[in-house]
Amino acid sequence: MIKAGIIGATGYAGAELVRILTQHKEVEIKWYGSRSYIDKKYASVYGNMFEIVEDTCLDDNMEELAKQVDVIFTATPQGFCASVMNDEILSQTKIVDLSADYRIKDVAVYEKWYGIEHKSPQYIEEAVYGLCEINREDVKKARLIANPGCYTTCSILTAYPLVKEGLIDTATLIVDAKSGTSGAGRGAKLPNLYCEVNENIKAYGVASHRHTPEIEEQLGYAAGKEIMINFTPHLVPMNRGILVTEYATLVKKPDGSLPTYEEIKAVYDKYYKDEKFVRVLEKDVLPETKWVEGSNYVDVNFKIDERTGRIIMMGALDNVVKGAAGQAVQNMNLMFGLKESEGLELVPMFP
């Protein structure tokens, strides 16, 4: 059995890790780390775990935890993992970090967009960006995973095949995204109170959201050049889900015509037909968050607008599963040579 520890086990992503790992045939959770609930029974924080998890919450002592487990999941705010990481920890255990601390390769870009000093930049180059569908072979060999977040996972996977094949003008790429409120975390914040969110939808982080450089960097690798995009997130009054709608100008064929539906569909199938967790929908069936809720699936599709010469790409996922905890477990499975979908064959919930 793989022994696992979770730091930040009482946040939404941490709780989803607990839900998934308690059903994983190859994993035993040894450490439920939570600075806010030390010495309290985990099931008293999350009543759904009554008579399922009997353990008590512990602290966030990474050095002690590293001696006891094979893998540590850090479902923590930006800056925590980077502040405690050291050679001794990495020599004893594998790390899957759900924060953004090691996602961006340029430390100056990270510090600019996140507004904090990076405490262990020496590990950035080693860290593997854990988007399994793109970096699977590197993930298998890694000891430190930068687990992508919800907006970035959905935004990247939705556009990746067309960017990789040079079928869109990346200078025209616009990403419009919507998220359920769990994406903001479990901490009490005025903008996330029920009366503030209910019966409302709003844009935020306009032209300044910190996931922008991450999307640009990863799609830039696919394109083989630097990319600059417009990324605008919105908060919608639902618990879970990410929906992205992306717009870009299609690159015309040598004869001046646009690529056909069949040609674009063939490109998506080229990259995703063998991917367990990316579902390319049938023609004219558009992604909806309700059809991926509670699962590790990403649903994607597209529509060609011949009138404008643009393509509309769409994607949907569950932000705390494929956008956080599910993706982390997918990475762990690869790191330990397990079946990639182990513990993750979760049928989407409806209603």
Catalytic positions, written as ranges: 150
Helices (H) and strands (E) counted in the chain, each on its own, are 12, 13
How many CB atoms sit inside 10 A of residue 254's CB? Answer: 5
CB 319 within 8 A of CB 183: yes
Look at residues 98, 141, 135 and name the one whose alpha carbon lies nearest to residue 321.
98
**What token pair was written down for 296?**
């590790």
SS3 for 144-164, per residue? EEECCCHHHHHHHHHHHHHHH
Do the bridges between strand 298-305 and strand 230-235 make them parallel or antiparallel, or are there none, so unpaired? unpaired
Q: At what angle do helices 107-114 and 212-223 cross, to 10 degrees?
A: 150
Phi, psi of 283 (to 5 degrees): -55, 130
